[in-house]
Structure 1
Amino acid sequence: MGAADVVPFIPIDGVTLEDCVTMARHVGEQIWKRYQIPVYLYEAAATTPERQNLENIRRGQFEGIRAEIASSPARKPDFGEARVHPTAGATVVGARKFLIAYNIFLNTPDVDIAKKVAKAVRFSSGGLRFVKGAGFLVRGQAQVSMNLTDFEQTPIQRVFELVKKEAARYGVAPLSSEIVGLIPKKALESAAEWFLQIENFDSSLILENRLSAVMGGKMALGGLRAGVEPFVEQLAAPTATPGGGSAAAASAAMAAGLATMVASMSRGKKAFVQYERALSEAIARLSELLEALKAAIDADAESYNAVMKAYKQAKDSAGKDGVIDDALKQATNVPLGVAERAREVAAIVETLKPITNPNMKSDLTTAFALARAAMEGALANVEINLESLKDQVFAAETRKRALALRP
C-alpha cells in the first residue's frame, strides 16, 4: 500500500488495547498532518466493521487504492484527503493483540493435504476463531502456515491439536513446528501447562517470572505474605512506631490499590465502554492518592519520632512550648491528610460500584471498609495530638476540618 505499509500498536505490558487504540488514532492523524500520507485505521482502531480486517483495506494493494480512492466511498481514508501520496502511497495504522506466526510441518510432501488441513483449521472456512491459515510446500515438506490473532482466546496448543487431528484423517502427522518472529511468554506457559497437565499451575511458579516480579517490586520473595509480614511484625513489636497512624495510612493505601484494580479490570472492556472516561479519571486520581498514602506510612512514624525528639530537646530550651507545638502540628497534619485522602478513596469506590464488573463487588466492599477504617484511625490520631497542643486556634481549626470528614 505504501512505504510504511502497516503500523500496529500492540499491548505488551502495562497498557490496554484501548490505550493502543488511542495511540493509533493519534499517530494516524499526525501522519496525515505532517506528511500528507492518507491513513486507514484497522482492527480495534477501525471506524467501520469492514475495516477491522486488514485484508479488506489492502485489497488491490497500492494500484487498487490509487485507482479507487477518489471515486469509491469505501476507499476514503480515515485521515487525509482522497488521494495517495505520490511517493509514499498510503498507510494503515491500528491496534491489535499480539499476532503469532505459527507453522506446522507435516510428514508428507503432499501440499494438497496441508491446504485441506489449513481450510479445516482457519476461521474463514469454519475452523477456529482467531486463526488464519494456508497450505504451502516448504523445503520439500507440506506446511500448514498460520497466523494466530488472539492466542488468549484460541491458544496455540488448541491449534496444534486440531492440526494433528485433521492431518490424521489423511494418514499423516505433524513432523515439527516453528515460530516466525516473536511469541509472548504467556502463550508458551499456557502450552506447557496443557501438554504437561500440571495441576494448579500458576505463572508465578516459573522461576524467572518470580524473580522478575520481585525485582520489579510487584512481589516480595516468598510470596504475598513475605511482602506484608515485616510491616505487620513491626506493628506488633513493643515500640511506639510504627503505630496506628502508619497502619491507617497502609489501610487507606490498600483501599486505593483495590479500587484501582477493579477500575483497571473494567476499563477497556466492551460491557463498560460507555464508562471509559470515568474509569480513566478514577484510575488517575487513585494513583495519586495511592502514592501519597504510601508516603504517609513512613511520614506518620517520622512525625511521631520528631515529637519525642522535641520533648527531649525542650528540657533545655526556653521556648519549649513552641518547639513541641511545631512538632505536634506536623504529627497532626499527617494523619489529617490520611483521613482526607481515605475519605476521597471511599467516595471514588462508591462511584465505581455501578460502572465496574459486578463480579468484583466484594473487592470494592473491602476497599470501602478499609478506607473507612483508615479514616477513623487517622482521625483518632489527630485528636490525641490536639489534646497536647497549646495553640488552641490551630486545634479549633483542625477539629473543624476533622469534623467535616465524618459522615
Structure 2
Amino acid sequence: MRDQTIGEFLEQLSARVPAPGGGASAALHAAQGAALVAMVARYTTGERYAEHGAAVERITAAADELREAALRLAAEDAAAFTAVTDAYRLPKGSDGEKAARSAAIAAALEGAARPPAEVVGVAARVVALAEELLPIGNRNVLSDVAAAAEAARAAAGTARVNIEINLGGIKDGTIRAGFSAAADSVAALVDRADRVTGAVRQEIAK
C-alpha cells in the first residue's frame, strides 16, 4: 500500500475485494493530517519564529512519526480485515469445526478492532499538535492547520465505526471495554478538531 500510486490505491479501494476498506482509509486520513501538521511546522522556521524553534522542531518530528505510524496501521488494518474474511470461510460442518470457527472469528474480530483503535490515538495526537501549532504557526499556511484537524477528525470518525462493527463478536469483556473506550473518546476529539477549524476560520475571516 505504501508504494502504490494514489490512483492504484483508489482503484483497489473501489474493487470488490475485502481490503483495503474503511479502516485503511481512516489510517490514511490520519497520515494526511500528520503530514499537513509537519508541512505547516516546516514553514514556521527562521528568525521570525526563533522563539518557537524548539516547539516547532518537536512538532515536526512528532508529526513525521505519526505519519509513519498511520501508514503502518493502514497496512495492518487491511491484513486484519482479510483475516476476518478468512475466519468466516472456515468449515462448520461438525461441532468441533463450529467451535474452532467461532474462536477464529472472535480472535480475528479482536485483531480487526485493534488498528482502528490505534488510529483514534494517532488522530488525537494529530489534533493535539494542530492545537499547539495554531497560535504560533506561519499565518500564510494557517488554513492547513485546520485541514490537518479536519483530516484527523475524519480519521477518528471513520475508525470509530470500524471499531464498533467488530465489538459484537469480541467475547472478552475487558478487551471489549478497552475498544469501546477508544470509540467513545472520538466525540471529544471531534469537538477539539472543530475548535481548531473554528479558530482558523475566524482568523482568516478578519
Q: Could you tell me the TM-score, scaled by structure 2's length? A: 0.82
Aligned residues: CA RMSD: 1.9
- Contact (CA 8 Å) 1:255, 1:371: kept in 2 or not? yes
Q: Distance in 2 between matches of 1:335 and 1:286?
A: 18
| Deviation by residue 1:177-214 (Cα, 9 ceiling, x = unmatched) | xxxxxxxxxxxxxxxxxxxxxxxxxxxxxxxxxxxxxx
- Contact (CA 8 Å) 1:335, 1:379: kept in 2 or not? yes
| Candidates 384, 390, 393, aligned match of 2:165 | 384
Match of 1:241 in 2: 19
- Report the CA distance between 1:257 and its aligned residue: 0.6
Give, as a single letter, the amino acid of the residue that structure 2 aligns with 1:231.
F
- The structure with higher relative contact order (CA 8 Å, sep 6+) is 2
Match of 1:277 in 2: 54
Give, as a single letter, the amino acid of the residue that structure 2 aligns with 1:261.
M
Give, as a single letter, the amino acid of the residue that structure 2 aligns with 1:234.
Q
Q: Distance in 2 between matches of 1:323 and 1:239?
A: 21
Please give the secondary structure, in 2, of the residue aligned with 1:334.
helix
Match of 1:342 in 2: 123
Mark the CA change 1:280 to 1:327 in structure 2 (over 3 Å): closer, same or farther. Answer: same
| Deviation by residue 1:344-392 (Cα, 9 ceiling, x = unmatched) | 1011111111111101011111111011010000011000010222333
| Candidates 269, 294, 308, aligned match of 2:71 | 294
Match of 1:230 in 2: 8
- Report the CA distance between 1:317 and its aligned residue: 5.4
Give, as a single letter, the amino acid of the residue that structure 2 aligns with 1:332.
A
Mark the CA change 1:238 to 1:321 in structure 2 (over 3 Å): closer, same or farther. Answer: closer
- Contact (CA 8 Å) 1:253, 1:294: kept in 2 or not? yes
Aligned residues: 183
- Report the CA distance between 1:310 and its aligned residue: 1.6
Give, as a single letter, the amino acid of the residue that structure 2 aligns with 1:341.
V
Q: Distance in 2 between matches of 1:401 and 1:277?
A: 31
- Contact (CA 8 Å) 2:31, 2:67: kept in 1 or not? yes
Identity %: 35
Structure having the larger proportion of residues in helix: 2
| Deviation by residue 1:199-237 (Cα, 9 ceiling, x = unmatched) | xxxxxxxxxxxxxxxxxx9xx9xxxxx931111121222
- Contact (CA 8 Å) 1:259, 1:364: kept in 2 or not? yes
Superposition pairs of residues 46-85 of structure 1, within 5 angstroms? none
- Report the CA distance between 1:314 and its aligned residue: 5.7
Q: Which runs of 5+ in 1 are unaligned?
A: 1-216, 221-225
| Candidates 114, 119, 142, aligned match of 1:361 | 142
Structure having the larger proportion of residues in strand: 1
Match of 1:260 in 2: 38
- Contact (CA 8 Å) 1:325, 1:391: kept in 2 or not? no
Q: Distance in 2 between matches of 1:312 and 1:261?
A: 44
Q: Could you tell me the TM-score, scaled by structure 1's length? A: 0.43
Rg bigger for which structure? 1
Q: Distance in 2 between matches of 1:314 and 1:333?
A: 26
Q: Distance in 1 between matches of 2:67 and 2:91?
A: 36
